[in-house]
Structures are given as C-alpha cells and as structure tokens.
Chain A
C-alpha cells in the first residue's frame, strides 16, 4: 500500500513524468481519432434532421463539446495550479501551464461556433447574455493566466502568481454552468440535465457524447505534448535532461 502511494508521488518529478507522458501520448491520439470518426459519422449521417432548426442544429456536435471542455480544462488547470501552490510539486505548475492554451482554444471555439449558431437561430452573432458573457470572461481568464505567466521570468514565481489567478477564476465556472437557470437568458437551457431524461433524440445524444470524448482525448494528448516541451525548457540545465535527449 505504502509502496504504491510512493509510486504515484514519483510521477510528480519531471524526470519520471517526461518518459511516462511520451508513452501515453500515442494512445490518447488514437482514442481521439476513434471517437472523432464515430462521432462525426453520427453527427452527419445518423442523427436525424431537427424539427425546428433543420440541419443548422448540427453545430451542437462541436459547440457543446468545446464548451464543456473549456470549463472542464479550467477546473483541471486550477486543480493542478492549486496542488502546486499547496505541495510545491514541480510537475503541477507545468501541467497548469500546458493546459491553458488548449483551454483558451476550446473557449474560443465555443464562442465562435456559438456565434455561427446564434446568427441563423436568434438573428444575432452576439448578445450580452449571461451565458455568453461568462464564457467570454472564461476566455479572458485563460488569456490572463498565460499573459501573467509569460510576464514573470522566474518560473516558480510565475506558477504561484498564475495559481492564485486560476483559483480566483474558478468562481466563474458555476456561473457559466448555472447562468441559464439563474438568469432569464436567450441561450437555451442545459442540453443534458442530471435530474431528468434527456429531451433529445438518442442518436443526437450519442453523437454529442462521442464528440465530447474525442475533444477530451485530444485535449489530454496535446497538453501532454506541451508539458513535455515545458519540462525540457525548465529543466534544461539538469543532468537527466542531457541524458534524456540523446
């Protein structure tokens, strides 16, 4: 038991995490591709035309996964940042830094696909509605986190400052999630509700879940590639890096 716990802590060191990440990356790419192919097939060829929105509703198959991931990545990023702040583990700060650009990308895709969905359905690219505004704030939180880290030369201090920003920003996540309930918004209610059976066709639901899994696996894969680069950049003066890069 004790031995296995120590095993987990071992991966907190960049030296053992670097090769582990390298071994995991191909598996996550493969999973992303498999879920993506299945998800796209359902999105375009299996899911029926929507009674109200025609074919325009198909944007949901990228809009919802991107929005979910933008929120989920933020929580994971804040978790690693907080862990780094509390335990001073080195890989935690690097993980948080590696996740931020992918989170920002997901938030940007959520806003972009939302605008392209809003225009034909609501008649407006953008409205200052609670859901849209809080998602825009999330996008700015990611950009702020990256800018703050880039502005501080000492990586350990940059991690600490970034962690505080990330943790304060967590309050925005429930605001986004519950915004459609708390305020009277133009944005439709949650697609999937924990308390009642989904109101959409099963094939639509499956397409969305598969696409969400694809986005999830993609995010892990790309963040692991980036964390490997960050590990080498930050540890470049250590002996093990000199041996790892032969």
Chain B
C-alpha cells in the first residue's frame, strides 16, 4: 500500500478533484439510477393494485 495517511489518500497526489470527481459522479449516478428504476416498477404495481381494488368494489356494488 502506498498511502501513509488518510489525508494523503484523499489528496490523491494533487489530483483529488479529478479522481474524486470521476468516482463520485459514477457513485451518484449508479446509486440514483436503480432507485429511479425501482420507483417506476413500484408505481406501476401500485396503480395496478388500485385498479384491481376498484374493479372488486364495482363488482361488490353490482352484486348487492
């Protein structure tokens, strides 16, 4: 290992802005994208459940 302290590690030999800017952008986007995809899936699921409940309610009203 070439680092002698945490400060040295974060300084990245003077390239901190460029190295952390690159890894940081990847981390942020690759964290946000799955969340957005998951939200899209749960939204369509929720609307399908609502639709089904509405259908069931309608059926009950017709029968009674």
Name A residues whose Cβ lies closer than 8 Å to a Cβ of B. Answer: 44-46, 48-49, 54-56, 58-59, 62-63, 66, 101-102, 105, 108-109, 112-113, 116-117, 119-120, 218, 221-222, 225-226, 228-229, 232-233, 236, 241-242, 245
Inter-subunit contact A56/B15 (CB<8 Å): yes
Q: Which residues of A contact B12 (CB under 8 A)?
A: 55-56, 58
Chain B: which residue is nearest A223 at the CB level? B37
Main secondary structure on chain A at its contact with chain B?
helix
- Looking at chain B's contact residues, the main secondary structure is helix
For residue B34, which residues in chain A have a CB less than 8 angstroms away from its CB? Answer: 221-222, 225
Interface size on B, as a range, is 20 to 34
Interface assignment of B48: CB less than 8 Å from any CB of chain A: yes
Interface residues of B (CB under 8 A from A): 1-3, 9, 12-15, 17-19, 21-23, 25-26, 29-30, 33-34, 37-38, 40-41, 43-45, 48-49, 51-52
Are the C-beta atoms of A62 and B44 separated by less than 8 Å? Answer: no
Contacting A109 at CB < 8 Å: which of B9, B26, B49?
Answer: B26
Report the Cα distance A228→B12, complex, angstroms. 41
In the complex, A113 Cα to B25 Cα: how many Å?
A: 8
Q: Are A108 and B38 in contact (CB under 8 A)?
A: no
Supply 12 A–B pairs (Cβ within 8 Å), ascending by A. Answer: A54-B14, A55-B15, A59-B22, A66-B26, A101-B33, A112-B22, A116-B19, A226-B41, A228-B41, A236-B44, A236-B51, A242-B52
- B44 touching A232 by the CB < 8 A rule? yes
In the complex formed, the residue of B with least CB distance to A121 is B18
The answer to whether A62 touches B22 (Cβ under 8 A) is yes
Contact B33 A105 (CB under 8 A): yes
Q: Which residue of B lies closest to A49 (CB)?
A: B2
B30 x A218 contact (CB < 8 A): yes
Q: Are A245 and B52 in contact (CB under 8 A)?
A: yes
- A229's contact among B9, B26, B29, B41, by CB below 8 Å, is which? B41
Residue of B whose beta carbon sits closest to that of A101? B33
Indicate whether A59 sits within 8 Å of B18 (C-beta atoms), given known contacts A66-B26, A112-B25, A242-B48: yes
**By the criterion CB–CB under 8 Å, are A105 and B29 in contact?**
yes
Residues from chain A with Cβ under 8 Å of B22 in the complex? 59, 62-63, 112-113, 116-117
